[in-house]
Amino acid sequence: MRHINVPPDNHVKVLGGQGWIGLIDHLGSESTVVNAARVSFGKMKDEMDDRDVGLLNYLIENRHTSPLEHVVFTFSVHCPLFVRGQWHRHRTWSYNEISRRYTEVDLEFYTPPEIREQAEVNRQASVESAADHSAEIAKIKRHNEDSLEIYNELLDAGVCREQARGVLPQNMMVTFWATVDLSNLIHFFDLRDSEHAQWEIREYAKAIKKLVAPLVPNVMDCVERLSKK
Ligand SMILES: Cc1cc2nc3c(=O)[nH]c(=O)nc-3n(C[C@H](O)[C@H](O)[C@H](O)COP(=O)(O)OP(=O)(O)OC[C@H]3O[C@@H](n4cnc5c(N)ncnc54)[C@H](O)[C@@H]3O)c2cc1C
């Protein structure tokens, strides 16, 4: 048995190496998508050809989404709690996560590799900073460490894990499994590999693109083409 905090072999590191996402399993292929689309005609094929690639593009461009739902991916995600919060708003995914009611081992915290400044126009957004923010990065790291110390003190004093975890910060790293079909994954790319999304979750969306591109290359070409329009 291995610990869930260990990335699977096929994974991509993000957030300066502090986070990762790995592909655990997948079901179906591009051929599954075109065959699902052809079920209406009572026909199926084993090999993909150029006409099938054309059909794939047509389905994605015209949001004929149901054939894409027959392809499914399961990922293992290691990310900060605040990224988990954004991710779990996507209700079409299925999730399972390590419970901090069960275990207090392997606690880790994210320290941003770079500090961004508050954007003035868009109140939700941030902008790159040219200033030296090493003191602020050190302050975040110190807060992470202090939180862990208080958490351990609470446990030592007999406080239960489910209450003690309340002092752990948003930068705590969590690990969860996430399963999604290809149609809803493309929707996730639209929203989260976007300049409107926070840099951290965008890193994960880009990493997923790298993981699935070898499995659904024509789909990903189409997604990239449409994202540039
Ligand atoms: C840049 C950005 C900023 C955001 N800011 C905020 C914010 O400030 N506050 C906040 O609360 N959220 C915010 N969100 C989260 C956002 O509102 C969505 O909850 C999140 O993006 C998930 O999108 P979704 O519902 O389309 O995805 P999913 O939940 O995966 O759903 C996919 C699609 O399925 C359909 N669907 C799913 N569930 C239902 C349902 N119950 N009823 C009808 N149709 C359904 C919809 O068509 C939906 O688009 C933000 C998201 C982004 C990308």
On whether residue 5 sits in a domain, the answer given is no
Q: Is the minimum distance from the CB of 125 to ligand 1 under 6 angstroms?
A: no
First-last CA distance in the chain? 46
Whether 169 shows a pLDDT value over 70: the answer reads yes
Phi then psi dihedrals of residue 226, to 5 deg: -65, -35
Ligand 1 centroid – CA 29 distance (Å): 27
Q: Share the mean pLDDT of the chain.
A: 93
- Predicted confidence band at 123 (pLDDT cuts at 50, 70, 90)? confident
125 touches 196 (CB < 8 A): yes
User: Of 126 and 205, which is predicted with more confidence?
Assistant: 205
13 touches 85 (CB < 8 A): no
Task: Give the pLDDT confidence score for residue 4 in this predicted structure.
Answer: 75
Tell me how far apart the alpha carbons of residues 119 and 108 are, in angstroms, rounded to a whole number: 29
On whether residue 3 sits in a domain, the answer given is no
Whether 1 shows a pLDDT value over 90: the answer reads no
Q: Is the minimum distance from the CB of 45 to ligand 1 under 6 angstroms?
A: no
Tell me how far apart the alpha carbons of residues 190 and 90 are, in angstroms, rounded to a whole number: 12
Task: Give the pLDDT confidence score for residue 116 in this predicted structure.
Answer: 85
Tell me how far apart the alpha carbons of residues 110 and 117 are, in angstroms, rounded to a whole number: 18
On whether residue 6 sits in a domain, the answer given is no
Tokens 């460490």 correspond to 145
Angle at 192 between CA 208 and CA 27, to 5 degrees: 35
Q: Is the minimum distance from the CB of 184 to ligand 1 under 6 angstroms?
A: yes
Check if 91 is active-site.
Answer: no
On whether residue 2 sits in a domain, the answer given is no
Task: Give the pLDDT confidence score for residue 150 in this predicted structure.
Answer: 97
On whether residue 164 sits in a domain, the answer given is yes
The pTM is what?
0.94
C-beta atoms surrounding 121 within 10 Å = 6
Whether 80 shows a pLDDT value over 90: the answer reads yes
Whether 135 shows a pLDDT value over 70: the answer reads yes
Whether 164 shows a pLDDT value over 80: the answer reads yes
The CATH number assigned to the domain holding 178 equals: 3.30.1360.170
Q: Is the minimum distance from the CB of 90 to ligand 1 under 6 angstroms?
A: yes
Residue 20: enclosing H or E segment and its boundaries?
strand 19-27
* Residue nearest ligand 1's atom 12 by CA: 89
On whether residue 221 sits in a domain, the answer given is yes
Domain count, the chain: 1
C-beta atoms surrounding 214 within 10 Å = 10
Whether 67 shows a pLDDT value over 90: the answer reads yes
C-beta atoms surrounding 86 within 10 Å = 16
Task: Give the pLDDT confidence score for residue 194 in this predicted structure.
Answer: 93
Task: Give the pLDDT confidence score for residue 104 in this predicted structure.
Answer: 65
Q: Is the minimum distance from the CB of 198 to ligand 1 under 6 angstroms?
A: no
Structural domain boundaries, residue 138:
11-227
Q: Which whole-number Å values give the CA distances from 146 to 85, 105, 141, 154, 185, in the listed order?
A: 23, 17, 9, 12, 37
Give the tokens for residue 54.
């054309």
Q: Which of 51, 192, 202, 225 is catalytic?
A: 192
Ligand 1 centroid – CA 21 distance (Å): 22
On whether residue 4 sits in a domain, the answer given is no
